[in-house]
Amino acid sequence: MPPVPGDPSGIRRWLPTDESLPLCVPVLCNLEALNISYDGRWHRLSSRVLNSLIDLMGRPSLVDLQVGDHIPGDIFNLSLAPHVKHLMLPHLETCATHRLVAPPRQPTNPVHLESLYIDRPFIFVALLSAPTCRLSISSLRKLFVRSPAVQEHEKIWQLLQFCLDTLEDFEFNPTQDGMLSIVISETEVDCLLRCSRISYLHGI
């Protein structure tokens, strides 16, 4: 059994050095939904495991993608499958993984989302605004934003501007600390009224 790299939390995770997953991934030809629930550091993943996850996230058959924790933005942007419609991305990281070796031809095709769940609008707006970003939310129909940080709330409006023409369902969960902080102008309210459903969840 090869040595297992340590984890700051003192536990020994299975994923970072796993040898079976890379063998299974190539044959999963009909994968439509993927949920990666890994709360460790992505830079601790072995190259084989990292490439396997990138491979999975890039599958043309993939429609539904959920990445639970702290995926570096460069990995996410590189690996995003072309036909993903539903994305849950609670914890996008701004840092880049310097180990990541870009393929000779990086994918450039835009990925048009229909539904989006995010936890940190500040980072996500930055990702969307980057010139290399492949994500497009101009066809978005459902948006769920959860943001406990008051200072991030203005970014929600920036996010809405990308998709107001098509948005049908908008949910905002500011959580308990930020529930009174969102400020939307009259114009913005007019735009939002095009949505068939607007929810404001109290994070209590």
User: Which among 16-24, 121-129, 137-145, 164-172 is the span making contact with another protein, rule CB under 8 A?
Assistant: 16-24
Q: How far apart are CA 7 and CA 5, in angstroms?
A: 7
Q: Supply φ then ψ for residue 30, to 5 degrees.
A: -115, 25
Q: How far is the CB of 82 from another protein (least distance, A)?
A: 18
In the list 17, 36, 107, 139, the residue contacting another protein (rule: CB under 8 A) is 36
Q: How far is the CB of 194 from another protein (least distance, A)?
A: 33
With H, G, I as helix, E, B as strand and everything else as coil, classify residue 102: coil
Q: How far is the CB of 57 from another protein (least distance, A)?
A: 11
Residue 133 in contact with another protein, rule: CB under 8 A: no
Residue 38 in contact with another protein, rule: CB under 8 A: yes
Residues 59-78 that bind another protein (CB under 8 A): 64
Query: CA neighbours within 13 Å on the CB side: how many for 54?
Result: 23
Helices (H), 119-171: 121-129, 153-161
Q: How far is the CB of 45 from another protein (least distance, A)?
A: 10
CB atoms within 10 A of CB 64: 16
Q: How far is the CB of 38 from another protein (least distance, A)?
A: 5
Type of residue numbered 126: A
Alpha-carbon Rg for the chain in angstroms: 18
Q: Residues in the site for another protein, rule: CB under 8 A?
A: 1, 4, 7, 9-15, 18, 20-21, 23-24, 27-40, 53, 56, 64
